[in-house]
Amino acid sequence: MRDSVDSTDVCLEVETAALGQVAMSARIVAPPVPATGAPLLFCVPGMNYSKEYWDLPLDGYSFARAGAAAGHVVVAVDNVGTGASGRPEDSEAVTLAAMAGANAALAEEVLARLAAGDLISDLGPLTIGRTIGIGHSLGGCLVLFQQAGFRDFDAIAILGFSNQPLEGIYEEHEREAELTDAERYAWATEHLPPKLWGSRWEELEPYFELPRENFGELFYAPGTPTEVVAADTALVTCVPRTAAIETTIPRVSAAAGAAIDVPVLLAYGATDLSPDPEREPATYPAAPEVELLLLENSAHCHNVSADRELLWGRLFEWAGEVAR
């Protein structure tokens, strides 16, 4: 598979409303000659993951290469503040909304330059068909914010992220229903970092690495090969502190979910962040269709699970369906 597709990393300077100019890194994985109207899959990784979540360097574990082999153009991104993308000096400004805005600027630039044929030598000009946003975990939240704010996608797939309060994460305040957004944010910064990340809020670096050893049971299903876990863990990157704590706050994405009016595909492992996957479709009341896929042999990190090819196959099939 690794010989049948072309893969190129790019770094582009984009202008954003919240963060000014930022450098954004992405990996373009595509067939050598994409068909006219090939779908583009814009893939956004989760907390402490970079674009390599979509292109794990182990045979049989690369979503991006499987997607390109199926005829899709895959764009896997490093969110701002992670991987090879820029880390703004004002780290507190790197909110979920700001990260989504940077991804929107990157998507616009990549699409325009693929169409012009000047992004990658020997690739294009391309006539892209439908554009599909795919986000895992925190990346799913970012795809929701991006679609609600910029309407970049013709359909979205949200993998392992919940519009309900995240399972086992948030601890409700005794006056939860009365809290303002600012009070709820303050409560989260005071009480959650020691539980989740082993440090007080003020001790965390503005861009910090998740202590992966605390999340093995959530991330990896029983029986995941040790070499796969090692390869996945070796690719850890940092996450912006402000955005990380925002993801823990209940219903942070509820308004974005309610605004989605394109087809949605949802997927969850048997161990995952949703407290009740069967209730997730109802959090997209304006979507014309919502498909729910449950992965019995997967934990939160679907791309390293025994069910990865089941998920990928349905995603590629679904992308082709919504592209028509």
pLDDT digits (tens, 9 = 90+) for 219-265: 999 999 999 999 999 989 999 999 999 999 988 999 999 999 999 99
pLDDT tens digits, 76-93: 999 999 999 999 999 999
DSSP class of residue 168 equals T
H-helix or E-strand spanning residue 147: helix 138-150
Give the C-alpha separation, 189 to 187, whole Å.
Answer: 6
Q: Which residue has the higher pLDDT, 211 or 48?
A: 48
Distance spanning both ends of the chain, measured CA to CA: 26
Contact in structure between 74 and 95 (CB atoms under 8 Å): no
Please check the confidence at residue 3 and state whether its pLDDT lies above 70: no
Residue 148 pLDDT: 98
Domains and CATH numbers, the chain: 6-167+178-323 (3.40.50.1820)
Q: Per-residue b/e over 231-243, b at no fewer than 16 CB within 10 Å?
A: bbeebebbbbbbb
**pLDDT tens digit sequence for 94-150:** 999 999 999 999 999 999 999 999 999 989 899 999 999 999 999 999 999 999 999
The set of residues, in sequence order, having a beta carbon less than 8 Å from that of 16 and lying 6+ positions away, is: 22, 98, 101, 102, 105
- pLDDT for res 146: 98
For residue 210, name the pLDDT band (cuts at 50, 70, 90): confident
Tell me the CA distances in angstroms from 26 to 79, 85, 234, 256, 267, one per residue in order: 9, 8, 19, 24, 24
The pLDDT tens digits of the residues spanning 172-194 come to: 889 988 999 899 999 999 999 99
